[in-house]
Amino acid sequence: MHGCGNDYIYVNTMECDVSSPSEAAIAWSDRHKGIGSDGLVLIGRSPVAEADYSMRIFNADGSEAMMCGNASRCIGKYLYDRKITTKTQIRLLTLSGVKVLNLHVGSEGVVDAVTVDMGEPVFEDERLFIPNRGISQGVFVSMGNPHYVIFTENVDQVGEAGRTLENHPAFPQRCNIEFVQIVSDKTAEHTTVRTRVWERGSGITQACGTGACATAVAAAMTGCASRKSDIAMDGGTLSIEWCENDRSAEGCFFQKNHVYMTGPAEFVFDGEIDSI
Q: Which residues of 95-128 are buried (b: 16+ CB within 10 A; e: fewer)?
A: ebebbbbbbbeeeeeebebbbbbbbbbeeeeeeb
4 catalytically annotated? no
Q: Are 248 and 210 in contact (CB under 8 A)?
A: no
- Residues ≥6 apart with Cβ < 8 Å to 33: 27
Q: Which of 4, 68, 74, 175 is catalytic?
A: 68
208 catalytically annotated? yes
Q: Which of 4, 74, 175, 208 is catalytic?
A: 208
Rounded to whole angstroms, how far apart are CA atoms 111 and 120? 25
Helices (H) and strands (E) in the chain, counts: 4, 20
Neighbours of 164 (CB within 10 A): 13
As a whole number of Å, the end-to-end CA separation of the chain is 21
Active-site residue set: 68, 208
